[in-house]
Amino acid sequence: MLNKNDENYIYYVIGQNIKKKRKEKKLTQEQLAEKCNYSLSFIGNLESSKVFQTISVGSLYHIAKVLDINIIELFKEL
């Protein structure tokens, strides 16, 4: 886990929340990517704790809608 003062911390939090919510919905990364019309590598990078994939608010909103959650859920600290 990253230090909260690291600028990449928020990407880590978002990625881990996407991964958690995806698994709760029993979706694979591939299924989520397909439903969102994003690449598997994009979803994989989002969920990775080693690669920090930047993402737009619009894309976060789209992923949240596909996961049937409020976008706020993606920002909740672990």
According to CATH, the topology of domain 9-75 is 434 Repressor (Amino-terminal Domain) (1.10.260)
Half-sphere exposure of 53 (CA within 13 A, CB side): 20
pLDDT in tens, 15-43: 999 999 999 999 999 999 999 999 999 99
The domain spans of the chain are 9-75
**Separation of alpha carbons 17 and 39, rounded Å:** 18
pTM over 0.85: yes
Neighbours of 20 (CB within 10 A): 16
Helix (H, G, I), strand (E, B) or coil at 37: coil
Percent of the chain residues past pLDDT 70, beyond the cut: 99
**Separation of alpha carbons 74 and 47, rounded Å:** 12
